[in-house]
Amino acid sequence: MTRSVIEICEGLATGEFSSVEITQDYLARIAQHNPALNCFISVTGELALEQARQADTVRAAGNAGALTGVPIAHKDLFCTDGVRTSCGSRILDNFIAPYDATVIEQFNQGGTVMLGKTNMDEFAMGSSNENSYYGSVANPWNLKHVPGGSSGGSAAAVAAGLAPAATGTDTGGSIRQPAAFCGVTGIKPTYGRVSRYGMVAFASSLDQGGPFARSAEDCALLLQTMAKFDPRDSTSSEQAVPDYSAGLGQGIEGLKIGLPKEYFADGLDSRIAGVIETAIDELRKLGAEIKEISLPNTGLSIPTYYVVAMAECSSNLSRFDGVRFGHRCENPVDLEDLYKRSRGEGFGAEVKRRILIGTYALSAGYYDAYYLKAQQLRRMIKDDFQSAFDSVDLILGPTTPEVAFEIGAKTDDPVSMYLQDIYTISLNLAGLPGMSLPVGFVDGLPVGMQLIGNYFDEAGLLAAAHSYQQVSDWHLQTPGLTS
């Protein structure tokens, strides 16, 4: 079962099936395939069927919205009232959120059906989805390979047909990289476009929520629901939200697309480069003007990101202390013992590594040398993009330097793991929107192409991706799972 969001909307509108029926189909598929894939941490079957019944009632009364009755999965760091929100961590294994994140509120108001909460790298820290307390997620295209991270559960669920769409978050590529590894479409909006209220923080100046789906057309519909100003989020933008679906047909005739030479240098698998070149040829045929550009500070993005992100995670995760909520150690002898053992038992190895590095970078005597310097480099990276957008409308390149690697292949080499995000991280540092869409295969595993837009030009990204998907069928390919 590989229906798109658009196809489900049409089926519900024509009465081909009810929301209850399509929800039951997805719950059955989750029961069949999730044991092997491990996409879901929590499956909310009873809640989903109740929401589906309500959606059918609303539709029967003639009050259905664009997404009424459509099943969806949510990454397990969006707070969901009355449902466990674990962030893939032991420290929140027993945490039942007392409220809904703004993103969840908006989907609930839109009448969607929550199938469950998807697996993820602990506190969104990882590039492979191997850092979850609940175990690794498997890539549906090859169960021995990773789905990417940190939103790997969401990407794998969409790729495997366990959900037609899912939410994710992107701090350094955590929507785009798993979208590439799993052969689905995912978009990271401009920083501030989607509310972070109720989205458990990793690095507050970098985190941004966005959707996964099969196509740009689906993502446009989902982003329309997610994007809005939220007074509860001080970083939320008041800029008007356009009609993303209405803009899909504008085409790319005359569009100027830049290819950063740094993205096609050493480190990129030559086979991936060949797949991307073929996709670029298709864009030329559609009327796009392709030109080489330079983003000279690309090589600084990894060290800059990992200083900024780790410093912010050190600050954000200080609240998990065993006192107010979450895991608490047994029989602490004093307050210091409570802190040490609760955090030591509750956090995994990668989270501990990042907290330690971040705390060091913020400590007296090192702040200027590391955190302040990283913020200065961050501005240089942002300036690179602004200079590029003086001459081009969009920027294009590979999403990742290689296809999905085998589970366990990089767990002993954190730096090699971090380099998987070399093409995605700089967008988060600059706050720009970006998306990944499938454009082919290497060794039977999907290849993703990244499109980068100027601030708040999600409509332009979606339109360009939609134009490409009108003349290709890579986004329609599905892994060989039994139905």
Total structural domains within the chain: 1
Least Cα distance to 25 among 54, 7, 3, 42 occurs for: 3
Choice among 75, 117, 188, 410 that is catalytic: 75
CA pair distance 31, 99, nearest whole angstrom: 27
User: What percentage of residues in the chain have a pLDDT greater than 70?
Assistant: 99
* DSSP strands (E only) in 98-149: 113-118
Q: Annotated catalytic, 174?
A: yes
**Over 80: is that where the pLDDT of 482 sits?**
no
299 occurs within a structural domain: no
CA pair distance 27, 20, nearest whole angstrom: 10
User: What percentage of residues in the chain have a pLDDT greater than 90?
Assistant: 93
pLDDT at 188: 98
Give the least confident one: 4-18, 20-34, 469-483: 469-483
The encoded tokens of residue 95 equal 């945490």
Give the least confident one: 38-42, 384-388, 413-417: 413-417
408 occurs within a structural domain: yes
pLDDT digits (tens, 9 = 90+) for 79-121: 999 999 999 999 999 999 999 999 999 999 999 999 999 999 9
- Average pLDDT (244-254) is 94
426 occurs within a structural domain: yes
pLDDT at 364: 79
Q: Annotated catalytic, 436?
A: no
pLDDT at 378: 97
- Average pLDDT (147-170) is 97
**Beta-bridge partner residues of 442:** 445
Contact 76, 118 (CB under 8 A): yes
* DSSP strands (E only) in 160-288: 166-169, 185-188, 209-213, 256-260
71 occurs within a structural domain: yes
Determine phi and psi for 80, rounding to 5 degrees. -130, 115
Find the domain containing 47 and state its range.
5-257+391-476
pLDDT at 209: 98
pLDDT digits (tens, 9 = 90+) for 339-384: 999 999 999 999 999 999 999 988 878 888 889 999 999 999 999 9
- Average pLDDT (394-407) is 97
pLDDT at 1: 62
165 occurs within a structural domain: yes
Q: What is the dihedral of CA 44, 35, 120, 449, to 10 degrees?
A: -110
pLDDT at 483: 52
Q: Kind of pairing, strands 256-260 and 289-293?
A: parallel
Choice among 4, 18, 174, 436 that is catalytic: 174
- Cβ-based neighbours of 163, under 8 Å, separated by 6 or more: 26, 71, 72, 73, 115, 154, 157
Choice among 4, 150, 436, 467 that is catalytic: 150
pLDDT digits (tens, 9 = 90+) for 436-476: 999 999 999 999 999 999 999 999 999 999 999 999 999 99
123 occurs within a structural domain: yes
Any idea what the CATH number is for the domain that residue 192 is in? 3.90.1300.10
Share the mean pLDDT of the chain.
96
Least Cα distance to 424 among 124, 180, 196 occurs for: 180
pLDDT at 412: 84
Least Cα distance to 223 among 475, 51, 465 occurs for: 465
This prediction's pTM: 0.96
196 occurs within a structural domain: yes
Chain centre to alpha carbon of residue 74: 11
CA pair distance 220, 458, nearest whole angstrom: 9
**Over 60: is that where the pLDDT of 332 sits?**
yes
Confidence of residue 419 (pLDDT cuts 50, 70, 90): confident
CA pair distance 117, 461, nearest whole angstrom: 28
174 occurs within a structural domain: yes
